[in-house]
Amino acid sequence: MRLFIRKHILDLLSTVKEAISYIEKSFEDRVTCIEVLKNCANALFSIESSLKSGFSIENYQNNYESNVQYLIRSIEYIASKLLENKNIGEYKKDSFKKIECIVNQINNDNEVKLEIVFLPYKASMWDSLESVWLAAKDDDKCNAYVIPIPYYDRDSTGRLSVFHYEGNDFPSYVPIHDYKSYVISARRPDIIYIHNPYDGYNRVTSIAPEYYSDKLKKYTDMLVYIPYYIAGAYIKKETAANKILTMGVKNADQVIVQSNNYRDLFLENGIDGEKVQALGSPKFDVLGFDNVINMEWQKLFKDKKIILLNLTLGTVLSDDIWLERYEKIISDLASYENIFILLRPHPLMEATLVSMRPHLVSKYKQMISDLKSNEKIVFDTNKNLDLAMKYSDAMISTYSSLVFKYLLTGKPVLSVINNNLAKISDEKSIIFDYLKNYFCVITNEYSQYLNSDYINKELSTEYQENMEYISLDDFISIIKTGKDYNKQNRLKAVENSVSNIGENCGKKTHSFILNKILGEKK
C-alpha cells in the first residue's frame, strides 16, 4: 500500500469518528443524521476496498477485515437506534475502539511502502544522490526508483536545442526506470530527490521543462534538493547567492547541505532554516575506487607519474585567454620526463562555449584535436571521477567541486589561479588557501609562474598567511619524491568544510527525510 492511500484511509476514519460524535449530539435532527450515516457507510466501504486492494489477502483478513466489518455493522445499528430515538453511546464507544485498532495497525504495517523517486539528469552527477538511493533501496519500508530525465543544451539565443538522455550511462548495478513510462502526476511519489536547482534559469542547459521543481512540487509531499556540487569557502552571502537563490531551493521542502557554515549562508540569503539541513554531501560517501579497473590505463601508466588536469567551465568563462593558459600548462607538464597527463575537460565545456562563448568554439575544438595527437596526454571522459582518482598521482585544477573529492584521496593538489589577485582577495571566495592546497599563479602572458615578490605586493598579510605558493617544478618534485609535507593540513581543512565525511551522509539523509515525512503523516 502507498503512503498517500494510508493517509486517505486515516483521514476517512477520522471523519467517521467526527460523524458519529455529531450524531450522538444531534440525534433529534434525524434527517441530517441519516444523511451523515449514509456518508459514513460510503466512507467505510471505500476504506474496505482500499484495504483489500492495498494489502495482501492474508494481512487484510488477519488484521483488518473483522474491525472494518464491525464498523459497517455499527453504522447499521446506529441507524436503527436513531429511528428508535435511543442513545448510541455504547455503539460510539465500541466503534471508536475499532477505529483506533485500525489506525494503530495501519500506522505500523510493514506493507505500507513509501515510493521514492530519484531524478538525476547527468550520469556524472549521480554521486550526489547515489548513497541516498542505496539507503532507500535497502529499506523494506520503501520502493525506490532511479529515473534519469532528459535535458537540453541551449543555443546562443537561449532556446532549447540539442536533446540529451544519459540513462544508459549509469553504473550497471543501478536499475534504471524509463522516464516515459513513469508518470509523476499519476504515481504521486511520496519523496522526490533532485540535484538540479535551476529549472529554466541555466543559460547553458535545461532539464526537460516538465521536470522543473515547481511542477514536481504539485505531485509529492516531500521534494528534496541535494546540490550536485561541493561549495567553496564562501564568506559573503552575495558570493553564494547564485547557487542558493534558485527555484529548486525555493520549491524544495528540504535542502541537504554540506556543512553548518554553508547552511548559514542559506539563512543569510533569506532561506527558511527549517528546510535546510547540514547533513554533509553524499558525494563523499562514494570514494571507494579500489575495484574500478582500466587495463589500458594500467598498462600505459605503469612506472609513470600521472597528473590529472581538470579543465573547468568557470575559468574559461571568466577570461577568453584561459584556453591559451591551459595550453601553456599542458605544454609545461608534457616537458617533464616520465610525466603523463590525464586530461579531464568539463563534460559541458563545448556546450557551454556554444551557448555563452561561441567565438571560442573553433579554438577549443582545435586545441582538443591537437592535444589528442600528443602521446603523453590521455583524455578522461568517464562519467565519474573514480578511475582518474585511482590512476593519477596528483591533480592540477582551478576551482571545482571535484577538487574537494580528490583531496580525500590524500594525493597532492595544485591550484592554478590567474593574477587578478586583488579581486580574489576582496571576494574571498577562492578555496585554495582555505583548503591548504599548493598553488601557483600565472600571469596574463601565461609564460611564467609569478614569484613570491608579486604575491607579497598584491595580497594582504592575513591572506598570505594561509597560502602555500610553490612553482610547478616544486610540485613535480613533490609528486616524484612522495614528500608531501602539507597532506595532513589539507585533509583536516576538508573535514572542517564538509560534515559527516566517512559517516554515510546518504543513510543519515534517508533516515532524516523518512522520519520527517512519516512524522507528518501520522
Q: Looking at the domain assignment, is residue 270 inside a domain?
A: yes
Q: Looking at the domain assignment, is residue 288 inside a domain?
A: no
Give me the pLDDT at residue 431, please. 43
58 shares its domain with 180: no
349 shares its domain with 489: yes
Q: Looking at the domain assignment, is residue 449 inside a domain?
A: yes
Residue pLDDT, tens place only, 223-281: 999 999 887 656 677 878 889 999 999 999 999 999 888 899 999 999 999 999 999 99
Residue pLDDT, tens place only, 1-53: 998 899 999 999 999 999 999 988 887 788 898 899 999 999 999 999 999 99
For residue 443, pLDDT over 60 is answered with no
318 shares its domain with 421: yes
- Residues 313 and 322: their CA atoms lie apart, in Å, by 10
* Among 221, 281, 217, residue whose Cα is nearest residue 249: 217
Residue type, 325: R
CB 459 within 8 A of CB 421: yes
419 shares its domain with 479: yes
98 shares its domain with 137: no
153 shares its domain with 188: yes
151 shares its domain with 214: yes
409 shares its domain with 483: yes
Number of domains in the chain: 3
473 shares its domain with 512: no
363 shares its domain with 493: yes
Place 485 in a pLDDT band, splitting at 50, 70 and 90.
confident
Q: Looking at the domain assignment, is residue 25 inside a domain?
A: yes
Grid coordinates given for 430: 577562492
Give me the pLDDT at residue 522, please. 43
409 shares its domain with 467: yes
Q: Looking at the domain assignment, is residue 287 inside a domain?
A: no
Q: Looking at the domain assignment, is residue 226 inside a domain?
A: yes
163 shares its domain with 121: yes
Lowest mean pLDDT among 9-18, 287-296, 391-400: 287-296
Characterize 391-404 residue by residue with b for buried, 16 or more Cβ atoms within 10 angstroms of its Cβ, and e for exposed: bbbbbbbbbbbbbb
Kindly report the CATH number assigned to the domain that includes residue 208. 3.40.50.2000
Q: Quote the domain boundaries for residue 81.
A: 3-107
| Dihedral angle, C-alpha 349, 350, 354, 360, nearest 10 ° | 90
Give me the pLDDT at residue 230, please. 82
For residue 495, pLDDT over 70 is answered with yes
